[in-house]
A and B are shown apart, each in its own frame.
Chain A
Amino acid sequence: MPFPYSSELIQIMAARSGPAPVLLLDVVALDGTSYHWGNKEIDVAPVYPTTLPGTPPAAWLAGLANPPADYDTHYFPWLLSATGFNQTRAQTAVTASIEVQNISGNTLQRDLMGLLSARTFEGALFAFREWNLAKQEAEFEQHGRLTVVTTSELICTFGANLLFNPNDYDGQPYAYSETCQWRFGSRQCGSTAANDSNFANPCDNTYTTCHQLNRFGGELATVVFPQNPPTAQTSQNQVQYRRLV
């Protein structure tokens, strides 16, 4: 879907000179605490409306040397880079990379490291914007969920998964099972055996009792447990399966 640029923004962006947009990142951790980071320190409300407002941890705010007057209108200059945001029509899972400084804080625990250890940032909702300073409008906006990739004493790198990530979804709209889930005699089942005196008994949803093997609605699984199972590159996303057996 194209970005709904205003005609004014298009004109300003197309100019042959001017300032580069600033990068703004809003994050809401899973406990509801919110964070606002940019590659420029910003302390004014109407020019940079926060996309994901919320309440920061009170204990963390109390430790700031110069706490902002209004937390939700203040962007700390923590965002070092944000790269790899791709938009594609294909159902490809693209992970962007966001780097945030991890220098500030005390010698035992950095500011960001303290937040990471006390809050859950894995799966935190984020809104990333490239903000045109002159027009005061977003040139690019992406929402998604964060995953913590690496943390060093200088930088924390987040992976940024887009909200539309096919890896997160169970593509099978029905429950996985070795037994068929169709109702006997239904359209999906296709069996007309109920009307046939020779096969008047309904199946028991197993393959061996199926009357319409070409429509069997279960998974034919042969389970083999190898002695030394190899380590495979498998998805780490958790999917809740329901077994019918």
Chain B
Amino acid sequence: MAQTDILNPTPTHPLNPDYGFQKKRPLTHLNAKANQGAPYFREITDTGHQFSLSWNDKLASHARKLKWYYEQYRDGFFTLIDHEGGGRHYVGRFSQPVEPSPTGNNRWSMQQVLFDEVPLAPMLVYPNDWNNDAIWRLLLNDFGDRMVAAVAATWTLTANPAAKSGSVFSSASVAIGAGLLGAASYVYAGYGFQFWSIKGPAAGIGALSLDGTFLANVDFYAANNLLQPNVSSMLFQQQNVPLGIHTVTLTATGTKNAASSGYAVNWDALKVMR
């Protein structure tokens, strides 16, 4: 039941919707723009994707099964696989009743049945096409505003052409017990995330958490390499995260690699699954 119940498990399953269905993401943000000037944007909800599906010339048994899916899951969710879109899973439910209409002898048609994704629902397979579906959430937005907030202690913004954002946000180099340890947060709407940053010879170890839950320690230490300078790379990936508005927090632990000469941790960018 729930996410383990798949409407269309295979590309040839009879309950696959007709080719060319509509998939869209409803408006989840506010936009305001003065007559002259840059627009302002605020993400307000975690509403997911919405599908408008149709089935034509299906047997009565198929129509009954689709009606059953509506009845069974109108207060829950099931899995729909977008086989056309590479096999990505979506968990959600039909938000309107399925109303078959006859088109011939034992032939039924269901038109424009809405399927809404349900936020915070667990998934059988979380979205994982990082090259095509994920987007960059950089330290600085395109207007140059810093989007990562220093939650504890003082952080420093430093230009760095090797960073995805063109800058890195660094905590102070403080050993555990020697002062306030830095913490910084970023909030995004989506599924899982990748944490990208730059390592260095004087960097320490940071703890990554998602919505307050510890995920992993990340070692930011790397020796200087004159032939191949350190560039931003993926240091951690958390793929299995349900759709929602999530807070990623990087906390300096005040510990370091034995070879490192400092304790600072760096934030460059997130890649967020959408």
Q: Which residues of A pack against B, CB within 8 Å?
A: 8-9, 11-12, 14-20, 40-41, 43-47, 132-136
Contact = CB atoms under 8 A, between A and B. Distances in A.
A116 to B, nearest CB: 25
A16 B187 contact: no
Nearest to B120: A41
Interface centre among A8, A14, A19, A132 (most CB of B within 10 A): A19
A133 B149 CA distance: 9
Interface stretch (B41-49, B127-135, B254-262): B41-49
Nearest to A136: B151
Interface bracket on B = 20 to 34
Nearest to A40: B245
Contact of B42 (A8, A18, A46, A47): A18
A17 B147 contact: yes
A216 to B, nearest CB: 60
B250 interface: no
B211 A19 contact: no
A77 B19 CA distance: 38
B146 interface: yes
B187 A133 contact: yes
The SS class assigned to the B binding surface is: strand
A18 B212 contact: no
B208 interface: no
A16 B32 CA distance: 10
A46 to B, nearest CB: 6
Interface string B13-57: 000000000000000001000000011111110000000000000
B150 interface: yes
Contacts of A45: 212
Contacts of B42: 17-20
A134 B141 CA distance: 14
A15 B144 CA distance: 9
A72 to B, nearest CB: 14
Contact of A134 (B39, B44, B185, B211): B185
B212 A16 contact: no
A11 B184 CA distance: 14
B186 interface: yes
B213 interface: yes
B265 interface: no
Contacts of A9: 149
Interface string B160-197: 00000000000000000000000001111100000000
